[in-house]
């Protein structure tokens, strides 16, 4: 079946008819005036609503993440939509921090106690549902591929050095696509399609927080994306720390 014949079927569930275009990289992380090249894909209402929860989680994560929170874009999110969600008690991430976070002391360089605040470690699995949607949306938009429901999608946080190595490895392999920039450095991504259902995506937000997504067919082998990730041994799952 060709992509065009399937246009009206939701890219995310591959079952229900699409009734709208959905922003794969959430519109809410871009500060107005929003860029004109944001990526949208056909989506049904249930998938759109479900993804929205994870979109909000990512937005709030980028607002308070230790890696990104020095960026002007991140601050804009915190002072804008994230702050409003927290005020209305609608931020799932803020609730998680309050419920599961630990109180840490903030001290000056010479040891003076300045303040306390909540801190929480976010695991890759907390953001995995979001990236499952993103992998499906970007695969469709960039390659016209509809990922099957049981596609294996692995998400890793990647520290800066390995991320650079992954990007370099992708570029050197010759077949990589990108980098695609959305809203300057708000979101930058690159991809390497090994074959249908077998791809590696590198995505950064504010150039301060990086993720690698490996997509493979449940019946296929994981060898080639593993190769890329293993190129630098530091590209292990890395647990970020947010405060
Ligand atoms: Zn759907």
Mean pLDDT of 15-39: 95
**Domains identified in the chain, total number:** 2
Residues 230 and 156 in one domain: yes
Residues 17 and 111 in one domain: yes
Q: Is it the case that residue 232 has pLDDT exceeding 60?
A: no
* Residue 152 Cα to ligand 1 middle (Å): 18
Residues 11 and 87 in one domain: yes
Cβ atoms < 10 Å from Cβ of 17: 10
Q: What is the pLDDT of residue 219?
A: 65
Handedness of CA 107, 108, 114, 118 (dihedral sign): negative
* Residue 50 Cα to ligand 1 middle (Å): 9
User: Does 153 map to a domain?
Assistant: yes
Closest CA to 85 of 131, 37, 26, 155: 26
| pTM score, whole prediction | 0.82
Residues 114 and 175 in one domain: no
User: Does 72 map to a domain?
Assistant: yes
* Residue 21 Cα to ligand 1 middle (Å): 11
Residues 84 and 171 in one domain: no
Residues 88 and 165 in one domain: no
* Residue 16 Cα to ligand 1 middle (Å): 5
User: Does 131 map to a domain?
Assistant: no
Instruction: Please give the residue that has the higher pLDDT: either 230 or 135.
Output: 135
Helix (H/G/I), strand (E/B), else coil: 87: helix
Q: Residues 67-111: pLDDT tens digits?
A: 888 899 999 999 999 999 999 999 999 999 889 988 888 888 898
* Residue 173 to residue 208: CA distance in whole angstroms: 24
H or E element at residue 225: helix 223-230
* Residue 12 Cα to ligand 1 middle (Å): 5
* Residue 10 Cα to ligand 1 middle (Å): 5
Closest CA to 139 of 185, 192, 184, 188: 192
Q: What is the pLDDT of residue 201?
A: 93
Residues 8 and 113 in one domain: yes
* Residue 15 Cα to ligand 1 middle (Å): 6
Closest CA to 62 of 38, 81, 46, 41: 81
Residues 77 and 165 in one domain: no
Residues 144 and 203 in one domain: yes
Q: Which domain holds residue 42?
A: 4-121
* Residue 45 Cα to ligand 1 middle (Å): 7
Residues 160 and 83 in one domain: no
Q: Is it the case that residue 229 has pLDDT exceeding 90?
A: no
Residues 109 and 167 in one domain: no
User: Does 176 map to a domain?
Assistant: yes
Phi, psi of 136 (to 5 degrees): -65, -45
Burial class (CB in 10 A: 0-12, 13-18, 19+), 78: middle
């Amino acid at each position: 079946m060709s992509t065009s014949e399937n246009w009206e079927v939701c890219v995310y569930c591959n079952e229900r008819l699409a009734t709208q275009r959905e922003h794969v990289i959430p519109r809410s992380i871009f500060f107005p005036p929003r860029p004109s090249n944001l990526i949208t894909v056909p989506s049904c209402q249930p998938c759109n609503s479900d993804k929205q929860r994870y979109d909000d989680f990512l937005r709030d994560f980028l607002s308070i993440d230790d890696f990104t929170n020095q960026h002007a874009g991140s601050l804009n999110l915190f002072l804008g939509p994230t702050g409003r969600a927290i005020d209305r008690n609608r931020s799932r991430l803020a609730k998680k921090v309050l419920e599961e976070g630990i109180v840490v002391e903030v001290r000056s360089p010479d040891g003076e106690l300045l303040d306390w605040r909540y801190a929480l470690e976010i695991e890759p699995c907390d953001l995995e549902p979001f990236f499952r949607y993103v992998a499906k949306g970007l695969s469709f938009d960039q390659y016209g591929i509809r990922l099957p429901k049981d596609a294996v999608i692995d998400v890793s946080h990647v520290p800066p050095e390995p991320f650079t190595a992954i990007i370099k490895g992708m570029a050197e392999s010759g077949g990589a696509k990108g980098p695609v920039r959305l809203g300057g450095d708000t979101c930058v991504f690159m991809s390497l399609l090994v074959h249908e259902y077998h791809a590696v995506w590198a995505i950064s937000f504010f150039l301060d927080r990086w993720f690698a997504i490996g997509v493979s067919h449940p019946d296929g082998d994981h060898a080639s994306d593993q190769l890329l990730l293993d190129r630098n041994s530091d590209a292990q799952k890395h647990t970020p720390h947010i405060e």
